[in-house]
Structure 1
Amino acid sequence: MNPRSRHSSPGEAAQHDPPGEVAEIFDGMLHHARELLAVRSPLDAELIVSEILGSWWGHRVPGGDVEEVIGEALIGHAERAATPAALALLTGVAYLGTPRQAARAERAALGLMRRGVARPGWADRVGTVAPEQCFVSRDVYGDQDSIVCVYAYGGSERHALVVLVDRTKAETVPEPGDPPGARRARPPASGMVRDAWVSSQVDKLLDHCRTEGRDNPLMRFERLDPRDTKALLQSALELTNGVDDPPVNDNFGSYHAFVRARAGILPPGGRLPQPPVYGRDRRATLAARFLASDEAEDLSDRSAASRCVDRIIEYGCAHDFGRPLRVSPVKCEMFLLDWLPRKVLLSPSEQEAAPHVLASWVRWAGRRTGLPDEGVRATLDAVWDATATFADAYRDPSVFGLDREIVGRLLPDGDLEALPRRAFALPFLTGTHRSSGRHGAIDLSALDPSDPDDRRVILEFEHPSAGDEHLDAHERVTARLWEGDPPELWETAQALLDDGWPRHEILHRLIDVLDDHDGDPRALRDALSGLRHEPPPG
Structure 2
Amino acid sequence: MTSQSRGRDTTPVPGPDGINSFVKDVLSDFAALAAEPDLLQIEVLASEVAGAWWEDPEGEDVARELIDRAKKKASPGSAALLTSLSVLAPDPAVREAAAVGLRAVLGRGIPEPEWAPGLGAVGVDECWQLGDVYGDTASLLAVLHRDQERIGIFALLHLTDGSLPDVTIVDNPDELLAGMRGQAEENDGLLLVERIEPARLRGLLERGIAVLDTLEEPEVTEEFVRFRALALAYCRVLPDAEPAPGPEPLGDWDAVIEEFLTANPELPDTDDTRYCVRLLIDFGVQTEPSRPLRISPERMVAFLEDWLPGEIELSESEQEVLPDVVLAWTRWTAIRQGLPELALAELDEVVQESLAGLGDDSLEIYLDGDEDLDDPVALTELLERRMFAVPATITELGDTQLELEPTDPEQRRLLVIGEHPEYHEALTEDSDIAEIDGVDPREYLALKAAVVDQLWDNEPQELWAAVVRMRDTGRERDEILDELVTVLSEQADTAGEPGAEEFEFDLDAYCAALEALN
What's the TM-score, normalizing by structure 2?
A: 0.66
Report the residue type matching 1:99 in the other structure. Answer: P
Distance 1:121 1:389 in 2: 65
Identity of aligned residues (%): 27
Q: CA deviation at 1:134?
A: 2.0
Checking the alignment, whether the CA contact within 8 Å between 1:3 and 1:253 is kept in structure 2 is no
Q: CA deviation at 1:201?
A: 2.4
Task: Report runs of 4+ in structure 1 exceeding 6 Å deviation.
Answer: 1-5, 392-398, 445-449
Does the C-alpha gap of structure 1 residues 325 and 21 become closer, same or farther in structure 2, counting only changes over 3 Å? Answer: closer
Does the C-alpha gap of structure 1 residues 231 and 37 become closer, same or farther in structure 2, counting only changes over 3 Å? Answer: same
Distance 1:385 1:89 in 2: 56
Does the C-alpha gap of structure 1 residues 391 and 447 become closer, same or farther in structure 2, counting only changes over 3 Å? Answer: closer
The residue that corresponds to 2:50 in the other structure is 53
Checking the alignment, whether the CA contact within 8 Å between 1:428 and 1:434 is kept in structure 2 is no
Does the C-alpha gap of structure 1 residues 322 and 255 become closer, same or farther in structure 2, counting only changes over 3 Å? Answer: same
Distance 1:30 1:99 in 2: 22
The residue that corresponds to 1:122 in the other structure is 115
CA RMSD of aligned residues (A): 3.9
Checking the alignment, whether the CA contact within 8 Å between 2:72 and 2:105 is kept in structure 1 is no
1:210-242 Cα shifts (integer Å, max 9, x gaps) = 344445221222222222222222222111111
Say which one has the larger Rg: 2
Q: Does 1:110 align with 2:103?
A: yes
Distance 2:66 2:201 in 1: 32
SS for the counterpart of 1:251 is helix
Report the residue type matching 2:326 in the other structure. Answer: L
Checking the alignment, whether the CA contact within 8 Å between 2:30 and 2:42 is kept in structure 1 is no
Q: Does 1:72 align with 2:64?
A: yes
Report the residue type matching 2:98 in the other structure. Answer: A
Does the C-alpha gap of structure 1 residues 200 and 434 become closer, same or farther in structure 2, counting only changes over 3 Å? Answer: closer
Does the C-alpha gap of structure 1 residues 4 and 39 become closer, same or farther in structure 2, counting only changes over 3 Å? Answer: closer
Q: Does 1:252 align with 2:220?
A: no
Aligned residue pairs: how many? 395
Checking the alignment, whether the CA contact within 8 Å between 1:3 and 1:254 is kept in structure 2 is no
The residue that corresponds to 1:286 in the other structure is 256
SS for the counterpart of 2:244 is coil
Q: CA deviation at 1:140?
A: 0.6
Q: CA deviation at 1:166?
A: 0.6
Q: Does 1:317 align with 2:285?
A: yes
Which residue of the other structure, out of 318, 326, 333, is the alignment partner of 1:358?
Answer: 326
- More divergent stretch after superposition (242-251 vs 141-150): 242-251
Distance 2:120 2:11 in 1: 28
Which residue of the other structure, out of 151, 161, 176, is the alignment partner of 2:153?
Answer: 161
Report the residue type matching 1:227 in the other structure. Answer: A
Distance 2:136 2:444 in 1: 40
Does the C-alpha gap of structure 1 residues 85 and 372 become closer, same or farther in structure 2, counting only changes over 3 Å? Answer: same
Does the C-alpha gap of structure 1 residues 203 and 117 become closer, same or farther in structure 2, counting only changes over 3 Å? Answer: same
The residue that corresponds to 1:222 in the other structure is 194
Checking the alignment, whether the CA contact within 8 Å between 2:276 and 2:322 is kept in structure 1 is yes
Which residue of the other structure, out of 190, 193, 206, is the alignment partner of 2:164?
Answer: 193
Checking the alignment, whether the CA contact within 8 Å between 2:120 and 2:234 is kept in structure 1 is no
Report the residue type matching 1:290 in the other structure. Answer: F
1:108-163 Cα shifts (integer Å, max 9, x gaps) = 1222122223444432211532333222122111111222112222x432211112
Distance 1:3 1:349 in 2: 61
Distance 1:33 1:389 in 2: 57
Report the residue type matching 2:174 in the other structure. Answer: D
Report the residue type matching 1:91 in the other structure. Answer: T
Report the residue type matching 1:379 in the other structure. Answer: L
Which residue of the other structure, out of 225, 235, 240, is the alignment partner of 2:212?
Answer: 240
Q: CA deviation at 1:255?
A: 1.1
Which residue of the other structure, out of 295, 310, 319, is the alignment partner of 1:327?
Answer: 295
Report the residue type matching 2:220 in the other structure. Answer: V
Distance 1:429 1:324 in 2: 43
Distance 2:64 2:214 in 1: 20
Checking the alignment, whether the CA contact within 8 Å between 2:133 and 2:190 is kept in structure 1 is yes
The residue that corresponds to 2:349 in the other structure is 381
Distance 1:130 1:86 in 2: 28
Q: Does 1:270 align with 2:263?
A: no
Distance 1:141 1:56 in 2: 36
Distance 2:173 2:10 in 1: 30
Distance 2:117 2:167 in 1: 26
Q: CA deviation at 1:399?
A: 4.8
Q: Map 1:363-442 onto structure 2 (within 5 A).
A: 363-390=331-358, 399=386, 402=389, 419-422=419-422, 424=424, 427=441, 432=446
Q: CA deviation at 1:401?
A: 8.2
SS for the counterpart of 2:156 is strand
Structure 2: unaligned runs, 5 residues or longer: 367-383, 393-402, 404-414, 426-435, 450-473, 479-498, 500-518
Q: Does 1:308 align with 2:276?
A: yes
The residue that corresponds to 1:208 in the other structure is 179
The residue that corresponds to 1:185 in the other structure is none
Report the residue type matching 1:207 in the other structure. Answer: A
Report the residue type matching 2:65 in the other structure. Answer: A
The residue that corresponds to 1:519 in the other structure is none
1:379-415 Cα shifts (integer Å, max 9, x gaps) = 223223333554576779985985879xxxxxxxxxx
Report the residue type matching 1:22 in the other structure. Answer: I
Q: CA deviation at 1:371?
A: 0.4
The residue that corresponds to 1:21 in the other structure is 18
Does the C-alpha gap of structure 1 residues 401 and 385 become closer, same or farther in structure 2, counting only changes over 3 Å? Answer: closer
Checking the alignment, whether the CA contact within 8 Å between 2:297 and 2:351 is kept in structure 1 is yes
Distance 1:392 1:3 in 2: 51
Does the C-alpha gap of structure 1 residues 385 and 77 become closer, same or farther in structure 2, counting only changes over 3 Å? Answer: farther
Checking the alignment, whether the CA contact within 8 Å between 2:11 and 2:48 is kept in structure 1 is no
Does the C-alpha gap of structure 1 residues 287 and 267 become closer, same or farther in structure 2, counting only changes over 3 Å? Answer: same
Distance 1:308 1:373 in 2: 26
Report the residue type matching 1:292 in the other structure. Answer: T
- More divergent stretch after superposition (283-292 vs 135-144): 283-292
Q: CA deviation at 1:340?
A: 2.4
- More divergent stretch after superposition (360-369 vs 385-394): 385-394
Distance 2:81 2:143 in 1: 25
SS for the counterpart of 1:274 is coil
Distance 1:290 1:326 in 2: 14
Q: Does 1:138 align with 2:131?
A: yes
Q: CA deviation at 1:107?
A: 1.4
Q: 1 or 2 for the larger relative contact order (CA 8 Å, sep ≥6)?
A: 1
Q: CA deviation at 1:319?
A: 1.5
Does the C-alpha gap of structure 1 residues 25 and 360 become closer, same or farther in structure 2, counting only changes over 3 Å? Answer: same
SS for the counterpart of 1:162 is strand
Distance 1:162 1:217 in 2: 23
Does the C-alpha gap of structure 1 residues 311 and 53 become closer, same or farther in structure 2, counting only changes over 3 Å? Answer: same
1:10-56 Cα shifts (integer Å, max 9, x gaps) = 4xx8xxx8xx6332233233344345325533222211211121123
Checking the alignment, whether the CA contact within 8 Å between 1:159 and 1:201 is kept in structure 2 is yes
SS for the counterpart of 2:53 is coil
Does the C-alpha gap of structure 1 residues 385 and 403 become closer, same or farther in structure 2, counting only changes over 3 Å? Answer: closer
